[in-house]
Chains A and B, each alone.
Chain A
């Protein structure tokens, strides 16, 4: 042992650490001592390495229950869950709450608001994630979609050519249980006797009810085998037949198809992709009523129909999708191969939340909103918890004496922690009850804004379980800081009254205030930018006049056949100034063509122009503006082959003087007679699509009317309705205002804007409540100091500046954190819009200034109150 230096060679430290932690305190000294002694012996005899190894081994064999068991204490135990003590905790908690009413109100109200937001968002996310899930074949249903390449851009679409369904069935049938051809869910006129309704519904293959597992109230799934049959949803059946039996009654679709009701199904839930399916008619009927399907010259060219399918139980979706990838390429004509149509299957689980594609890749979808609002909800709840912690710690000085007394009479720290957790649990439980009331109260409004049908899941045990877990969790999180902090006070110091929080005692509190304001500022900046973006898109020049324009969709040819008579009659009543017919409404574009060829067109360039067939005076009706050329004229018969194009088309074609240019449209010669200013037809956030108008005499389907601005809209509508009823008695009269249709293009963004506004107001409110509370406690804490200052000559303004200064610095720090964070996220959000607003500096300025103002107002109330206090009163008690 002589040549062995104990100071340099010692047993492994980590083993010693484990031993010291694990072995019962009354044994650890001699056990460890013995082990060390042996270690040094071994080390000097057999070397350090061996000694360490043996030491570790010997130490580990000591980790047996016998050595770990603590010696029972000689003192009487202080049980953590003593009945009497818990009752006492709650009693004291109630008294504290009742004594400090403002504080209790701030605490409970703030927390309740945070919790209701979290609850609403939770319900909303639950609803979003359960979209389509009630379909029993949820994991087997797919939609057939295709990626097509146009001039290097890959577009993704749900529309497929008519023969694709049959082709899939014939050559790829092994993977599929059902393949369902479908029409778009458009409104159709259903009539029975005098009752007529326009209801959205589809024509689908006869197995559709089985695939969708419709809940049949009458009839069976096989009821659509006969072409002249129809399924009605429960609500539609009620509307037609009331309580009487709808089965075998005759319904007339679009005034020309008589079908028999062979089934009634329960309305599909609101969170289903098929929620609008209010009637279901057989695909075979659609084929009968649309004979053109069989006589198409190139049936694989137009993409017209959605196709749904159900995979067999064993089929793998990825493999099935890969197998049908080239199905279209094998059938289309050579010149269309440049579109590279890749057919694929989109599983139902991705329809709603993950169906945004960019360049052929899935890039997300509504799931982004789920993340967005989930994050906001978590943050608002965090703010509320921060408030709670803040207020409780701010009050710690008030409770310090109590803690001291409790400790002096024998409370151990664990009991105090328990006490404060009980207290926070009580507050959170109150808040939970209040928040449930709040949620019930706000639910209808929220549903309207969010376009949802959320309900409280009163009867759902999972909801209650989550609610209780959530309460406990919040109580733990919110109560942890005060519990751990307050219980650590030393009774001697506290009871001597020498207790003073150290210099850094306020640091956590300050950090919390900064976090709170940083979150609020991010939310405010976000709200402003979302609104700016909407405003930006709204202020784009539309290119036509929306005011006083209405559209009427026609399902029957009656109005078309009497077009001029109707128009003249309406003009004579003075209700309208102009009326026109077209194949697409002014706010949408339903058709596109790739068949236009112009002089000098690069054969490899694929052109995809939207087009609309219009009647004379269409331009006059909507008030488009010519850049060059002229409108269609009744006097020139040659105008039937004339085209009016928008500026984008002219630019795309690269023609200097487009007017008078001769083009080919498939096999017919056409000529450009006019160029109109670009109009926003599709998305207001995207560049204007190329659009051409041609003159057509066949039934367009959409009537656009310009109401006489000199008479009121309701009068005009009444007159229009009576004339329409006269000439088209079979159809219910339904019209929509173009400006409203246009506004609906902003619904999604408006929804986000409204929700974020709602949440940021709440966040600010919660933050201010907390700030108000903290400021009042700080003012109270410094009462004496303020008294002394006033005696020495401080003015109210001095006191105010002193108290507000601290908070101003905190808000400035919060702003410095929040500004770059919000810039980063909002910039990312804006990137998805082609037309986007700038995030200009004034937004930050206004937000920072506004937050500062709100902070000052909140704090000033307390600061001025403190400053006005009579110093005699505050100093007398010393």
Chain B
């Protein structure tokens, strides 16, 4: 088994949300999407902390946008998934798929029914 960077469940969701965004992703949109997809109540600080941590670990990169009008002139920090992030997501998906396939048929039926 090759060595991988560990991703927590919430980190994985945030990473996936960034990947899934059609527009350029920044704090507020990511926060809203996370809540939308998971149906959980999440504080914005949790999302911020996760985003920065993912950036520190190299899964995400960020850049500051231009000045805005609607938030007191403050710039937005846009996040983009890095190649390393893509790789990590792929690996996770791969493991999941293998595990799904390993489930015996009778059990799979119970799960899917």
Contact B45 A34 (CB under 8 A): no
Contact of A36 among B31, B43, B52, B74 (CB under 8 A): B74
Contacts A29-B75, A30-B64: A37 and B28 contacting too (C-beta < 8 A)?
Answer: yes
Contact of B71 among A33, A61, A62, A64 (CB under 8 A): A33
Determine whether the beta carbon of B45 is less than 8 Å from that of A62.
Answer: yes
The interface residues of chain A lying within 8 Å CB-to-CB of B112 are none
- Knowing A30-B64, A66-B52 touch, does A36 contact B45 (C-beta < 8 A)? no
User: Max chain B CB contacts within 10 Å: which of A34, A38, A62?
Assistant: A34
Residue from A6, A27, A38, A40 within 8 A of B52 (CB atoms) = A27
Q: Tell me the residues in window 15-37 of chain A with beta carbons closer than 8 Å to chain B beta carbons.
A: 27, 29-37
Across the two chains, which residue of chain B brings its CB closest to A1? B70
Q: Which of A6, A33, A66 is close to B76, meaning CB atoms less than 8 Å apart?
A: A33
Query: A35 contacts which chain B residues (CB < 8 A)?
Result: 44
User: By DSSP majority rule, is chain A's interface helix, strand, loop, or mixed?
Assistant: helix
Question: Are B74 and A32 neighbours in the complex by a CB distance under 8 Å?
Answer: yes
What sequence of 0s and 1s flags, for each residue 54-66 of chain A, a beta carbon within 8 Å of any chain B beta carbon? 0000100110101
Interchain CB contact under 8 A, A33 and B45: no
Chain A residues whose CB sits within 8 angstroms of the CB of B72 once the complex forms: 32-33, 36
Interface residue A352 (Cβ < 8 Å from any Cβ of B): no
Contact B43 A58 (CB under 8 A): yes
User: How far apart are the CA atoms of A129 and B27 in the complex, in Å?
Assistant: 65
What's the Cα separation between A66 and B77 when bound, in Å? 18
Contact B49 A33 (CB under 8 A): no
The answer to whether B45 touches A61 (Cβ under 8 A) is yes
Interface size class of chain B, counting residues whose CB lies under 8 Å from the partner chain: 20 to 34
Q: Which residues of B contact A34 (CB under 8 A)?
A: 26-28, 31, 44, 48, 71, 76
Chain B min CB distance to A295 (Å): 94
Would you call B97 an interface residue if the criterion is a C-beta within 8 Å of the partner chain's C-beta atoms?
no
Q: A36-B72, A37-B71, A40-B70 are in contact. Are A30 and B44 (CB under 8 A)?
A: no
Kindly identify which residue among B48, B53, B68 contacts A31, using a CB–CB cutoff of 8 Å. Answer: B48
**Min distance, Cβ A551 to any Cβ of chain B, angstroms:** 90
Q: Which of B44-91 contact A (CB under 8 A)?
A: 44-46, 48-49, 52-53, 64, 68, 70-72, 74-77
B residues within 8 A CB of A270? Answer: none
- The contact size tier of chain A is 20 to 34
Assess whether A33 is in contact with B44, with CB atoms less than 8 Å apart.
Answer: no
Question: Roughly how many angstroms separate A27 CA and B27 CA in the complex, as a whole number?
Answer: 12
List chain A residues, Cβ under 8 A from B28.
Answer: 34, 37-38
Residues from 30 to 53 in A contacting B, C-beta threshold 8 Å: 30-38, 40
Nearest Cβ distance between residue A7 and chain B, in whole angstroms? Answer: 11
Tell me whether A62 and B48 are in contact in the complex, defined as CB-CB below 8 angstroms, given that A34-B31, A37-B28 are known contacts.
yes
Decide if A499 is an interface residue (CB 8 Å cutoff). Answer: no
Instruction: Tell whether A67 is near chain B: CB-to-CB under 8 Å.
Output: yes
A30 and B74 within 8 A (CB)? yes
Alpha-carbon distance A40/B45, docked complex (angstroms): 18
- Cβ of B27: which chain A residues have Cβ within 8 Å of it? 30-31, 33-34
Q: Which of A1, A32, A37: most chain B Cβ within 10 A?
A: A37
Q: Which of A29, A30, A37, A64 contacts B45 (CB 8 A)?
A: A64
Q: Which residue of B lies closest to A36 (CB)?
A: B71
Query: Chain B residues near A27 (CB, 8 Å)?
Result: 48, 52
Q: Is the CB of B74 within 8 A of A64?
A: no
Roughly how many angstroms separate A66 CA and B74 CA in the complex, as a whole number? 21
B17–chain A nearest beta-carbon distance, Å: 15
| Chain B hits for A67, CB < 8 A | 45, 48-49
Q: Are A30 and B76 in contact (CB under 8 A)?
A: yes
Residues on A with C-beta less than 8 A from B49 are 64, 66-67
A356 and B18 alpha carbons, distance in the complex (Å): 82
Q: Which residues of B contact A30 (CB under 8 A)?
A: 26-27, 64, 74-77
Q: Which residue of A1, A6, A58 is within 8 Å of B44 (Cβ)?
A: A58
Contact partner of A29 (CB less than 8 A), chosen from B53, B70, B74, is B74
List, in ascending order, chain A residues with CB within 8 A of B70's CB. 1, 6, 37, 40
Interface residues of B in 22-47 (CB under 8 A from A): 26-28, 31, 43-46
Which chain B residue has the least Cβ–Cβ distance from A35?
Answer: B44
Q: Which residues of A contact B74 (CB under 8 A)?
A: 29-30, 32-33, 36
Q: Give min CB distance, A44 to chain B, whole Å.
A: 11
Residue of B nearest to A11 (CB): B72
Residues of A within 8 A of B31 (CB): 34, 38
- Residues of chain A contacted by B71 (CB below 8 angstroms): 33-34, 36-37, 40
Shortest Cβ distance from B44 into A: residue: A58
A33 — which chain B residues lie within 8 A by C-beta? 27, 68, 71-72, 74-76
> In the complex, A32→B28 CA distance in Å?
11
Chain A nearest CB, measured from B57 CB (Å): 14
Expressed in whole angstroms, the Cα–Cα distance for A1 and B71 within the complex equals: 13
Residues of A within 8 Å of B43, CB to CB, are 58, 61
CB neighbours (8 Å) of A29 from chain B are 64, 74-75, 77
Residue of B nearest to A10 (CB): B72
Tell me the complex Cα distance, A369–B84, Å. 79
Residues of the B chain whose Cβ atoms lie less than 8 Å from the Cβ of A38: 28, 31, 44
A33–B70 Cα distance when bound, in Å, is 9
Q: Taking A27-B52, A37-B28 as contacts, is the C-beta distance between A58 and B75 under 8 angstroms?
A: no
Q: Which residue of B lies closest to A61 (CB)?
A: B45
Complex Cα distance, B52 from A31, in Å, reads 11
The distance from the CB of A12 to the nearest CB of chain B, in whole angstroms, is 14
A555: shortest Cβ distance to chain B, in Å? 91
Closest-CB distance, A56 to chain B (whole angstroms): 13
B38 to chain A, nearest CB (A): 18
Q: How far is the CA of A36 from the CA of B71 in the complex (A)?
A: 6
Measured between alpha carbons, how far is A34 from B47 in the docked complex, in Å?
Answer: 11
Near A by CB (< 8 A), chain B positions 4-26 give 26
CA distance A40 to B28 in the complex (A): 12
Per the bound structure, the CA–CA distance linking A99 and B76 in Å amounts to: 58
For B69, give the chain A residue with the smallest CB separation.
Answer: A6
Q: Give Cα distance in the complex from A58 to B45, angstroms.
A: 7
List the B side residues contacting A32 at CB < 8 Å: 72, 74
In the complex formed, the residue of A with least CB distance to B72 is: A36
B65 CB, nearest partner CB in chain A, Å: 9
Set of chain A residues within 8 Å of B52, measured between Cβ atoms: 27, 66
Assembly CA distance A1 to B69 (angstroms): 13
Distance from A494 Cβ to chain B, minimum over Cβ atoms (Å): 36
B52 CB → nearest A CB, Å: 7
Q: Which of B26, B52, B72 has the most C-beta atoms of chain A within 10 angstroms of its own C-beta?
A: B72
Distance to closest chain A CB from B101 (angstroms): 38
Smallest beta-carbon distance A30→chain B, Å? 4
Identify 30 residue pairs between A and B in the complex whose beta-carbon atoms are under 8 Å apart, listed by A's number.
A1-B70, A6-B70, A27-B52, A29-B75, A30-B74, A31-B27, A33-B27, A33-B68, A34-B26, A34-B31, A34-B48, A34-B71, A36-B71, A36-B72, A37-B28, A37-B70, A38-B31, A38-B44, A40-B70, A40-B71, A58-B43, A58-B44, A58-B45, A61-B44, A61-B45, A61-B46, A62-B45, A62-B48, A66-B52, A66-B53
A-B interface, 7 closest residue pairs, ranked by CB to CB distance from nearest? A33-B74, A34-B27, A30-B77, A61-B45, A33-B71, A36-B71, A62-B45
| Extra contacts besides A66-B49, A67-B49 (8): CB < 8 Å | A6-B70, A29-B75, A30-B76, A34-B28, A34-B31, A40-B71, A61-B46, A64-B49
